[in-house]
Amino acid sequence: MEVLKIENLYAGYNGDNILYDINLNVNKNTIYLVIGPNGSGKSTLLKIIAGMILPKRGKIYYLGEEITYLPVYKRVKLGIKMMPQIRAIYPYMTVKENLEIGGYYLRKEILEKMIEDLIELFPNFKYKLNTKAYNLSGGEQRLLELLMTLIGRPRLALLDEPTAMLSPKYTSMILHKINEIKEIMNIPIILVEQKIFEAMKIADQVCMMDLGRVIYYGEKEDAYIKNALFSLFFG
C-alpha cells in the first residue's frame, strides 16, 4: 500500500532551491534510508514532508490525498510525525510529561493507554517516568524523543539522524528499536542517517541524494547502490 507519494518537487530557502525534481514513493511497513553527503538536502526533504517548509513546485500525496500545503499540526493529526535532528525534549520536565506533550492532541484516556503500551517497548523507561529529562543520558534522551514521535501511533515516521553524536552502544540500540517499531507498529519509516553501514542493516529501500537531487532509489541489495556508495563517499 502506498502511504506517501512525492511528484516533481522543488524546494529551498530564501529564494534558492535546495531540492530539485524529487520523486519518491513510500509504501507501508518499510524503512526508507535516505543517505548522502552533508548539504545534499536530506533534512530539507523530511521538513517538506512534515510541512515545516512548503515546496515551490510539485505535489505531495499522503494516503491518496494531496497534502502539499497542509500545515504541520494537521499532518500530525493525520499521522505524520517527525523526530528532528536537534534535541527536542523539555529537560526540566519529567519523562511522562514529555510523552504527554508528544500526544497533546489525544484525549487523556487514549494518551495514558498509549504511554503504557509504548513503555512496554521501551522497558528502560518503566521506572523513569518521574525522572527529569535532563537527568537522562544522551542516549536515553534520544530514545525519549523517539518515544515522543511514536505517541499517537503515527502512520508515517520521519527520523532525522536519530543516532547523531551517540556511542556505538546507543547507536545499535536505537537502530534495533527502529526496526522493531516497523515490525510491531507496521508503519513506514523514512530514516536519514549518517552511520550508513549500520543503518543499511535495517533498511529495506535506499534513497541516495547529492546536490539536492535523488541519484538512486531502490533496493539496498542492488549492485548499483554499492558502486554508487563507494563513488559518492570515497571518490
* Burial (0-12, 13-18, 19+ Cβ within 10 Å), 203: buried
CATH of 2-234, one of 3.30.200.20, 3.40.50.720, 3.30.565.10, 3.40.50.300: 3.40.50.300
pLDDT at site 105: 86
Distance CA 5, CA 105 (A): 26
Nearest of 159, 222, 172, 181 to residue 201 by alpha carbon: 172
**Beta partners for 192?**
34, 160
pLDDT of residue 94: 96
Task: Tell me what pLDDT residue 95 has.
Answer: 95
Low-confidence ranges of the chain (pLDDT < 50): none
pTM surpassing 0.85? yes
* Separation of alpha carbons 156 and 180, rounded Å: 15
For residue 216, what pLDDT is reported? 86
Amino acid occupying residue 230? F
Read off the pLDDT of residues 172-218 as tens digits, 9 standing for 90 and up.
999 999 999 998 889 999 999 988 889 999 999 999 999 999 988 88
Question: Is the four-CA dihedral 41, 47, 49, 51 of positive or negative sign?
Answer: negative
Nearest to 89 by CA among 31, 131, 152: 131
pLDDT score of 164: 87
